[in-house]
């Protein structure tokens, strides 16, 4: 099934004009071993637009084989050693909301509550970070951000690449800080309390809080 055909029907309607672009990106990936696996590349966009209340924007998938499964920052349930960025996300969540350490790093439970976990670049070559930074994914994911910004979706923007999308969202719905990477987490990510801020905004909007 093509990438475009993997999208939720609502996303297919919203992104119809970009169908040729999806095909172009897909053709550029032919013959490559990619992360995540082909059938999971569009996983984040298999949920409806109308269900999305929050978007957390990452950079590109984990390149380690078996880690990425189509949701930004998330890893498959069977991964025992969490990637450093995800470990820092869990640490901040524990500090912010007194949430117990999860059993694994699969963030599907967030996705099921209306959080879109979206990387700006949806694939990479297995074993290599940012291998697909220049094949055209940002054209699509920037449009996704624009659509969500028109729907009063809360945007969590960690690090400079994510913050480049801030202009698509109302300023009062943007929660921005340093990236949770070990290289930057101590420069503003730790102590930024994004998770409690999300719930405060959701409650003001009349939505249920996220059960982290």
Given a cut of 90, whether residue 102 has pLDDT beyond it is no
Give the start-to-end residue ranges of the domains of the chain: 3-205
d(CA 69, CA 86): 14
154 Cβ contact partners less than 8 Å away, ≥ 6 residues apart: 53, 54, 55, 173, 174, 175, 198, 201, 202
CA dihedral over 57, 62, 66, 67, signed as positive or negative: negative
Model-level pTM?
0.96
31 Cβ contact partners less than 8 Å away, ≥ 6 residues apart: none
Q: Which residues pair with 177 in a beta bridge?
A: 158
Given a cut of 90, whether residue 128 has pLDDT beyond it is yes
The per-residue pLDDT for 80 is: 87
d(CA 166, CA 156): 9
Query: Are 4 and 22 spatial neighbours (Cβ–Cβ below 8 Å)?
Result: yes
Residues 168-204 pLDDT 10s: 999 999 999 999 999 999 999 999 999 999 999 999 9
And the tokens for 90? 């869990």
d(CA 86, CA 155): 18
d(CA 161, CA 166): 10
Q: Would you name the residues annotated as active-site residues?
A: 60
The per-residue pLDDT for 100 is: 86
* C-alpha of 127 from chain center: 20
* CATH number belonging to domain 3-205: 3.40.470.10
């Amino acid at each position: 099934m093509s990438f475009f055909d993997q999208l939720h029907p609502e996303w297919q309607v919203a992104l119809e004009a970009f169908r040729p672009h999806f095909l172009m990106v897909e053709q550029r990936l032919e013959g490559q071993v990619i992360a995540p696996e082909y059938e999971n590349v569009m996983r984040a966009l298999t949920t409806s637009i109308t269900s999305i209340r929050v978007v957390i924007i990452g950079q590109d998938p984990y390149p380690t084989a078996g880690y990425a499964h189509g949701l930004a920052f998330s890893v498959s349930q069977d991964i025992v050693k969490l990637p450093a960025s995800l470990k820092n996300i869990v640490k901040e969540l524990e500090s912010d909301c007194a949430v117990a350490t999860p059993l694994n790093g699969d963030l599907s439970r967030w996705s099921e509550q209306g959080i879109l976990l979206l990387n700006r670049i949806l694939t990479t070559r297995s074993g290599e970070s940012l291998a697909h930074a220049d094949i055209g994914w940002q054209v699509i994911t920037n449009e996704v951000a624009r659509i969500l910004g028109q729907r009063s979706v809360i945007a969590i923007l960690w690090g400079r690449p994510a913050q480049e999308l801030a202009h698509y969202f109302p300023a009062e719905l943007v929660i921005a800080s340093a990236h949770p990477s070990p290289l930057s987490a101590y420069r503003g990510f730790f102590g930024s309390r994004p998770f409690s801020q999300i719930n405060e905004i959701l409650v003001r909007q009349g939505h249920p809080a996220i059960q982290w």
